[in-house]
Amino acid sequence: MALDYRRCAEEIVSLIGGRENVAQAAHCATRLRLVIKDNSKIDKKKLENVDGVKGMFESNGQLQLIIGTGTVNKVYEEFLAVTGMTAATKDDVKEAAAAAQPAWKRALKSVGDVFVPILPAIVASGLMMGVVEALGKAIPTFAETDWYAYLDMVANTAFAFLPVIVAVSAARVFGGNIFLAAVIGLMMVHTGLLNGWNVGSVDAINGFFGVTDGKIPTWNLFGNIKIGDYVLGSISRHGYQGHVIPVMIAIWFMSKIEKWLHDHVNEMIDLFVVPITTVFVTSLFTFVVIGPIFATLENYVLKGAEWLVQFPPGAMLMGAIYPVTVVMGLHHMYNVIEAGMLSSVGLNTWMPIASAANFAQFGACLAVGLKCRQAKLKTVAVPSALSASLGITEPAIFGVNFRFMKPFVCGMIGAACGSVFGAITKIGATAYGVTGIPGYLTINNPGVYTVLLLISGGVAFGLTLAVWKEDNDEIPGAKVDEPKTTSTPMINEVQASKSSGEVPCDNVVISSSAGEIGQPTKGKIIPYTEISDETFASGVLGQGVGIIPDEGVVYAPMDGEISSVADSKHAIGITGAEDMELLIHVGVDTVEMKGDGFTTFVSEGDQVKKGQKLMEFDIAKIKAAGKADTVVVLLTNSDDYEDLKLS
């Protein structure tokens, strides 16, 4: 019996708390995507039994109801009619879902959005820095060569000017002018300021400013007006190399100021007033407000670390919070502790703590790289983990671990375990600034150091494997929580995967009493249960096959009528003889490509013949976007056929 689309929509609305409980609604090729204001008002048990709803799950603040191709768009139309809502895009729904999430989740998402585009730069620099530094320590004569100096310059450029790169990316996320943001970033590493990595070096301070007391001079913009011990408008004349959070805060503030000015300044003078005012106000906020806050934090961290590192519980605590200080850009201050230890006792016992923390982030990041199924994430995580093993953790922390948080916390736990072991065994180094694998060049007990690395990295690796999983919306190809379905019978076991060299459409991949469905594209056939998306693999959308394509062309596998063509052109529905409902879905999560790389040759309602070209797709673009290129071929009403056979 045909589905009553109106009744389906009405039941959905009533069971999700009514129109007033819906913030946004959209649909893709198979799912109705809803942003709900109050999830406690959803009657989930009844909702999953609504006629037409094949499954449901929640992800990233969205309630996703699996309805099926050719049907979801009709249910969606009735849903809009019932609720009186206007159509929204999937991007609208994502934005609304993000806005409804807790503040800490939105903050983490912002950090991820800022760092994902700049990952290639920091991963490449991190790897090169680790290799160059290790070579310099292993071959002292190489460290004296021009080649070493050149490679060192090339390797550390991205980190030396990291605030500039972060500022530009942050402006894109927060909606500010990227060129004004670049100016703010450049200010924070200006050559007229002491390099931020040297704030703890008395010699560097004295040499740079021509002083003898080892204190960084200040600019007192408003004289000596004091509020307690704080001099109003006092600016410490040091840069922010290696800092991340201060830059992001500054650019967020800049974007707010710029938008406000655009709204309130007359258009005739907007071009002159807005840029100069934005830069001036932001620079004051950055150096007068952010500067003192982080200078104070640095002092507290430094004094606390000096005290805590003296006994095992303190070492365990410092190992755990070390990655947090990396995120805040405060970790360069630890060089003062290390230098002080070497000058007083000749042994740097802080190095094992830093090394445990860095190697734990390596273990967590490696676990993500090995566990994830999305190609793009894997190509970031594995090199980032390698960089962390060499002591350069920024790519691993900002590109992977902190972005997903659970791996970051697992790294903190691993660091705590390794650090307490290092404190108990009292191992140390004869130099500072080197951690991870290169640390073998300076450590006084390589055997114990190996155990420390195994403990910290191993604990973080194991915990991450146990507690972290990919998110279906944010990471294409990942599994989601098992959708609850009303019925997903296995009508026929899929045979072992095989490769077919036959002409597409002549090779039958699905057959039943209603007719046969041919192979719509050339390639290797795999069981639908092996498709890298839980919704497809579970059979909730119907049974069929997956095809690893050899070419980017899709042909009609049967005679029929085009029931749907996705707006993003990646999916086509066909209704064939005896009401067979077929979905051809090219790639996993390719909806996010928004049609780039896809060309369709049919429209909804067209009559097609077997072998007729339906679509072309660019396999290289799909892979470059980090998506699986599997062509999904599913008979969405397969439950109607008891004699269904799959290739």
Point out the residues that are catalytic.
Answer: 28
DSSP letter at 435 equals: -
Distance in angstroms between the alpha carbons of the first and the last residue of the chain? 28
Determine the Cα–Cα distance for residues 227 and 563; give it in Å rounded to an integer.
71
Is-contact 536 632, C-beta < 8 A? yes
Using CA atoms, how far apart are residues 632 and 583, in angstroms rounded to an integer? 8
From residue 43, how far is each of 15, 50, 592 by CA, in Å? 5, 11, 30
Q: How many CB atoms lie within 10 A of CB 499?
A: 12
| Amino acid identity, position 354 | A
* Contact present, 225 and 231 (Cβ < 8 Å): yes
Helix (H) or strand (E) holding 66: strand 62-66
Residues β-bridged to residue 26 = 33
CA dist 530 and 528 (Å) reads 5
Are 391 and 438 contacting, i.e. CB atoms less than 8 angstroms apart? yes
The torsion of the CA quartet 603, 608, 610, 616, rounded to 10 degrees, works out to -20
Task: Collect contacts of 424-431 with beta carbons under 8 A, ≥24 apart.
Answer: 424/312, 425/452, 426/349, 427/349, 427/352, 427/452, 428/341, 428/347, 428/348, 428/349, 428/351, 428/352, 429/347, 429/348, 429/351, 429/352, 430/342, 430/346, 430/347, 430/348, 431/342, 431/348
Amino acid letter for position 443? I
Quick one: which H or E segment has residue 59? strand 55-59
- Check: CB of residue 439 under 8 Å from CB of residue 431: no
- CB contact at 8 A, 449 and 352: yes
**How far is residue 8's CA from residue 51's CA, in Å, rounded to a whole number?**
6
Q: What ranges make up the beta strands (E) of 522-591?
A: 523-527, 543-549, 553-555, 560-565, 571-575, 581-586
Ordered alpha helix ranges (H), 48-191: 72-83, 90-100, 103-115, 119-138, 146-160, 162-174, 178-187
Locate 533 and state its tokens. 């998306």
Strands in 62-66's sheet, in edge-to-edge order, are 22-27, 31-36, 62-66, 55-59
The helix-helix angle for 351-371 and 312-328 (nearest 10°) equals 60
SS3 at position 548: strand
Structure tokens at 207: 């040499």
Sheet of 598-600, strand order: 553-555, 613-617, 598-600
With contact defined as beta carbons under 8 Å apart, do 519 and 500 qualify?
yes
